[in-house]
Amino acid sequence: MAAVKAKFRFGLIGGGQGAFIGAVHRMAAELDSRAELVCGAFAADPDRSRQSGQNLYQLPAERCYGTFAQMFDGESLLPESRRMQFVIIAAPNHVHFPAAAAALKAGFHVVCDKPVTLSLAQAVELKALQGELKFLLTHNYTGYPMIEEARSLVAAGMLGKIRRAQASYLQGWLARDVDNKQASWRTDPRRAGAAGCFGDIGSHAENLLSHVTGLRIQRLCADLSTFVSGRSLDDDGNVLLQFAGGARGVISASQVACGCENDLSIKVYGDKAGLEWSQREPNSLIVRWPDKPFEIRRTGGAGLSNRALAAARLPAGHPEGYLEAFANLYAKFFAALEGGAEDYPGLEDGLRGMNFIEQVVASSAAGAHWVSLDPE
């Protein structure tokens, strides 16, 4: 009988009362029974943090910390068999850098929400601190089986030379002035950073394009808009792309597209074939050919790539979705902690993503001028 593997122990920053993504992280991390939450700093207010840890997560009082600094200090004093092994940072953007930097300095592996920091300079500093520690940046949409199939098709040359690649991420939840916890920090430049919509969801679209195509954006031309009166950051935008190798593309992102519910999609076209995927129908990948009918490849179906089959969790026909894709990233992270390959988005993706965000903002501020993403 195979030995039962011990669960990885993790701490959580954020995820307190009224939060959204912290609970998703916890469910995804624990979905395969490979990890367990043992401690946390769950809110900016120390009292609320301790209450959240005990009431929401039923943790012992001594493992519910008032601040993440107290958590790192306290966990470092515990025996190795009890202390957390990695920390999940599921707090607003302005917390990412100080929390991740403190974790790396304390010797803990890191899982962090995107964007990785508020600036490219901060991301560069994190990279210098990383050393041999593992760092997962949760661009969770890369975990869908049919995204893995799309990536495999491109890598195998099935599409030929890529000519056009586009991604769109449309939401409508900020179409009006919304007064709640999630909206307040995402529209505040002090907590969200230099970009609003493009920092929040445009960064996902960029990462998905890069993951599937393997192409590098060389130049871009951005037009950001702020439609809701009184808002400081963009809530809509479009970016023209020029890739190394000659391909062209577009990224569109909006949080004021009335009625849209996380409408994420990607389309890639080469000189031999094209592919299309949408989160509205995540278990299907459309492959288009110039000289025969298009085909629909399905999660778990016969003839898929090894990457796609490995990412599928259920027999074909059973719907898989957001949470399972999220959990696939954690499964890869755990494999890396055990000595396997680091086959997941990491700090390199974070550096590229922050460069993309900063150049999008710069291009738009300059009147939609073309800017380069390559270092001078």
Query: What does the alpha-carbon distance between residue 127 and residue 119 come to, in Å, rounded to a whole number?
Result: 13
**The pLDDT of residue 1:** 54
Query: What does the alpha-carbon distance between residue 231 and residue 181 come to, in Å, rounded to a whole number?
Result: 15
Query: What does the alpha-carbon distance between residue 150 and residue 287 come to, in Å, rounded to a whole number?
Result: 9
Confidence of residue 185 (pLDDT cuts 50, 70, 90): very high
Query: What does the alpha-carbon distance between residue 75 and residue 120 come to, in Å, rounded to a whole number?
Result: 30
Dihedral sign for Cα atoms in the order 144, 147, 151, 152: positive
Span 225-241, pLDDT tens digits = 999 999 999 999 999 99
**The pLDDT of residue 368:** 97
**The pLDDT of residue 156:** 98
Percent of the chain with pLDDT over 90: 95
Confidence of residue 5 (pLDDT cuts 50, 70, 90): confident
**The pLDDT of residue 374:** 83
Question: How many Cα atoms within 13 Å fall on the side-chain side of residue 265?
Answer: 19
Percent of the chain with pLDDT over 70: 98
Q: What is the mean pLDDT of residues 121-142?
A: 98
18-27, 163-172, 277-286: which range is least confident on average?
18-27
**The pLDDT of residue 285:** 98
Q: What is the mean pLDDT of residues 158-184?
A: 95
Q: What is the mean pLDDT of residues 318-327?
A: 94
**The pLDDT of residue 18:** 82
**The pLDDT of residue 19:** 86
List, edge to edge, every strand of the sheet that includes 86-90: 35-41, 8-14, 86-90, 109-112, 135-137
**What global pTM score does this model have?**
0.95
> Is the pLDDT assigned to residue 102 strictly greater than 90?
yes
Confidence of residue 3 (pLDDT cuts 50, 70, 90): low
Tell how strand 263-270 and strand 274-278 pair up: antiparallel
Domains of the chain: 8-133 (3.40.50.720), 147-314+347-365 (3.30.360.10)
239-249 per-residue burial string, b: 16 or more CB within 10 A, e: under 16? bbbbbeeebeb
Question: What is the rounded end-to-end Cα distance, in angstroms, of the chain?
Answer: 58
Q: What is the mean pLDDT of residues 97-124?
A: 98
56-65, 174-183, 265-274, 344-353: which range is least confident on average?
174-183
Q: What is the mean pLDDT of residues 165-174?
A: 98
- The answer to whether the CB of 86 falls within 8 A of the CB of 71 is no
